[in-house]
Structure 1
Amino acid sequence: MCLIELVNITKVYRGKNVETKVFEGISFEIHVGDYIGLYGRSGSGKSTLLHILGLLDRPSSGTVKFKGTDIGQIKAHQFSQIRNEHIGFVFQDFRLIDELTIFENVEIPLILSKQKCSKAVREQKVMAVLSKLDIQDKRNSYPQELSGGQKQRVAIARALVNEPSLILADEPTGNLDEQAARNTMQILSELNKEGTTIIIVTHDPEVKKYTDKVIDMREIVAQM
């Protein structure tokens, strides 16, 4: 089943006196259950492509379909609803809120969701993902009290709590030591085996080994 379809998309950034083309004419499909690596050096456009896949940005031209819906035909406010209900994000810098506990950080997507649930249900869902990632004992801790690897587990828990069909991970091992990076990739691999579609941006050749398919940004750019 096709989850995302890109058809001839181009991304151009336009400044006052300059125009920068990031990529042009990209077409491919992402199917349910895929584990894809977007691989390339810094500045190759892989994060820009990930943002388009995650509906954080629109292409300059071309078509993006999410579950068959042409996102170019939907209104801006619908983007956030689709992201919140169907897509989980994991970032290199974790993006946790220091003033909130680990429980509260993971709970945020549930509070923002249009699929409102009771406080009791939210607690059940949060504790389920914290337990899944073996950090349930950190529920009352704050981000600054955790190691880098623990913070990334929290970030993954937050991405999972709404049971998304797609997880997008942007350099998720970039700020981790070797062991924590390996643990993070093992967690993502297990999630994929359970059926979650995962797209991971990386410049690390070691991370590529975990994915089933690699999209090399050098090959995309070379076609421009």
Structure 2
Amino acid sequence: MRVQRRHVLAATVAVAAAAVVTVGTGLGFADTAPERASVCSGSVTFSAEGGAPAATSDRFPVGTRLRVTNLDNGRAVTVTVTGPSGSCVLLNAAAMDQVREPGRNVIRRNLVERLDGGAAQSGPGETRPGSARPGAARPEGDAPGGGAARRVCGGPVTFSAEGGAPAATSGQFPVGTRLRVTNLDNGRTVTVTVTGPSGSCVLLNAAAMDAIREPGRNVVRNNVVELLG
């Protein structure tokens, strides 16, 4: 009788385990659940733009709907692209407030999804609207103090909360590239070296941004970014 009871108990446990696996798979708990792909690489940051949650982009046309998720806290925001910028996705202040950690100006672990099913205008490493590849800079306007400015990035310049000496990250230029960023509203200039990748043509760190920005401003709209080598 004891042997028979052991067989019955073992069979009951096996059936229960199978049921748990079946339910878990149906709810998406299994390891075979498809992993979502992000349409933007690198960090997500923001401008000081007001209004309802929205974003600007150098990759997607006006009207594109994107969902941005902060993978560190699970918070997500759905935004509509309202204009161009120098980033794959640059949130405005209201959108950033919905997803960021307190005191953080950048989201490093993120997922950006396009909700309308379209494709990006160009892929990583390709020339994007409002930007240029290294070596493809063109004269555009006058640099402060005279001379032609070789503008290699289009759109606003913003920053991450990264510390250290003035530096930048970039989705356009390799590590070691030297760039000069000028705020045309006040004439302030900072020279930075690219230290890693990001989702922007140029994303300054905190020290670099402090060297050129207007007090209380998190974005430099009227700017020239020059390739120094």
TM-score of the aligned structures, taking structure 1 as reference length: 0.31
| Larger Rg, first or second structure (1 or 2) | 2
TM-score of the aligned structures, taking structure 2 as reference length: 0.31
Higher relative contact order (CA 8 A, sep 6+): 1
Which structure shows the bigger proportion of residues in helix conformation?
Answer: 1
